[in-house]
Structure 1
Amino acid sequence: MKRQITGCLILLGLSGLAQAVDNPPLSLDRDRLSNLAQEDQRAREIIRRADRVRAPDQPFRYTLTLLEHKGGRDVTENQQVLDISMRFYKPSEQVEKGDARALVRFVAPARDKGKALLSDLDKMWYFAPDLRRPIPISRQQRLMGQVSNGDVVAADFDYSYISTLVGEEACEQQICYKLSLQRRWPYVTYPAINYWVEKDTGFPRRADFLSADGVLIKRSYYRDYQPVLGQMRPTTIVVEDALRKDNYTTMRYSDVRLESLPESNFQKEYLLRLNG
């Protein structure tokens, strides 16, 4: 399903750490639309197919369990369970502005109940019962281990990145397409990604997330493919630390279902009503 898919946002006492983020305009002007038409169309076809393997294009809801591993040990005391509702519609050349919104409710541990994140395409807010109002936060801030705020909500790589097909190479026991992805919008969490997609099935297998200067930030593996909503999808993403492979975080997806979600659930004001 998803990635991105790191984690240094400490949600307890977050209000002192949050910072406002400048948000660029989102509409696609004629020049951008022209550039879209000139992109590597074969790469876009591969990315689009892989996007629909990772997540459906209809409103859906899922449970996400995060577990950190350090030096070969499961840090079970830090395990988090999130309930995530997602609306995701990809823009076309006819419809200039896409719609990608997510509401993240904290289920466990008990100390985090009542906390929530709201993602509205280029913006993200955090709310807790002890706050008077939602506060803006960055997608790059860590949530847990190697997982950031922006990683826990579904992302469409085709919309977020300009892709290029680099070639084909072995990945595990299969042959994969290797693709180079460059950030399309300034607010996208990672500047660049090297992405491996299985040639025969279109299944994502690995993603290397890179800084603006090409340094590896972290590496994700898509695993445990199972039938979900009529499609084989990865139900586990393993996110490795760039420097130590024995430090990683697993993201496990469960109870994935389509759900009709009202627009009102994805407004900042709704966060104030979650505990009402």
Structure 2
Amino acid sequence: MQASIISILLALGLFAVSSNSAAVPEAVPVDSSVVSSVATEESSPAVAIIRRADRIRAPAEPFRYALTLVEMKGEQEVSRQSLDVAMRFYKPTAEQAGDARALVRFVDPPTERGKSLLSIFDKLWYYEPKLRRPIPISRQQRLVGQVSNGDVVATDFDLSYIATVAATEDCDGRPCYRLELQRRWPHVTYPKISYWVDVETSRPFKAEFLSTGNKVLKRAWYKDYKLALGEYRPHEIYIEDSLKKEQYTRMLYSDVRLEEVPEAYFQKEYLLRLR
């Protein structure tokens, strides 16, 4: 798979939308065991903190935004891509089924135009004009190299993890909660996460994504908070691979807006019409 195709998978989350919360390519039915499990944690301080932070990272309604991906090595820019991303995400409740979809269109450089990517829960398809039909991208391909960054930004902490408040620590002069997260299900990419959230503002500050042996695999910083849709949200996510510290990714967000994209757009057959 080309590097540009791999890096585009980073676009599948703005601030906190999950592609891991279901395992079928249609609206996920209400899972009473999940709803019940989450309900028992309603009074947990950690759940309240994470939910406030999630709403800062992403609005609860369908939305659209422009994304610029900048791959860096040291101080040198290696590559840059511009993307148009439309997202729709609803968590499953006792009253309604869940839904998690994203449509990504390549905008720049000109050589990439006409390419697109569709995510429906954990299913993913890629299309470019020279192909006869969209092709599926396997979970193995999604976990190669920079592709794993997609789960760094797309993971839904509230639904995918069980959280506890471990401590209150300093974050560049401001008090932050440090939360320890353990994944609920084996298919969630990262087994553990350490997550820092500002005590006063509920803004995410930093996250460390760990292996089962507590080895840090990725670090993410939430930066450049600006007003968008009535909330100050991070407009840059800086992602560092702990094994390749000289290489990092800057994800720059702009033009964030509420927009209900038609249902037909979130079908793989529609990708053929985006030539």
Q: Same fold (TM over 0.5)?
A: yes
SS at match of 1:273: helix
- In structure 1, what residue type is equivalent to 2:47? R
Aligned to 1:63: 66
SS at match of 2:177: strand
Corresponding position of 2:130: 130
Instruction: Provide the rounded CA distance (Å) in 1 between the counterparts of 2:256 and 2:154.
Output: 12
Query: In structure 1, what is the equivalent of residue 216 of structure 2?
Result: 216
SS at match of 1:126: strand
Q: Distance in 2 between matches of 1:140 and 1:48?
A: 30
Residue in 1 aligned with 2:17? Answer: none
Which deviations, in whole Å up to 9, do the C-alpha atoms of 1:128-168 show, x marking residues without a partner? Answer: 11222222214674699745473597553212222222221
CA 1:148/1:248 → structure 2, altered by over 3 Å: closer, same or farther? Answer: same
Q: In 2, distance between residues paired with 1:63 and 1:152?
A: 19
Residues 145 and 65 (structure 1 numbering): CA distance in 2 closer, same or farther, change over 3 Å?
farther
For structure 2, the 5+ residue unaligned runs are 8-21
Percentage of identical aligned residues: 57
1:72 and 1:243 mapped to 2: Cα distance? 18
* Paired position in structure 1 for 2:91: 90
Whole-Å separation in 2 of the counterparts to 1:112 and 1:73: 22
Quick one: distance in 1 between partners of 2:199 and 2:132?
50
**Structure 2 counterpart of 1:50, from 49, 53, 56:** 53
The residue aligned with 1:34 is: 36
TM-score (norm 1): 0.83
Residue 190 and residue 213 in structure 1: after superposition, are their counterparts in 2 closer, same or farther (change >3 A)?
same
Matched with 1:79 is: 80
Deviates more, 1:54-63 or 1:104-113: 104-113
Aligned length: 257
Greater fraction helix: 2
Q: CA–CA distance in 2 between the matches of 1:152 and 1:210?
A: 11
Instruction: Quote how far apart the aligned CAs of 1:210 are.
Output: 1.8
**Cα distance 1:144–1:230, how it changes in 2: closer, same or farther (>3 A)?**
farther
Contact persistence 1:9–1:142 (CA under 8 A): no
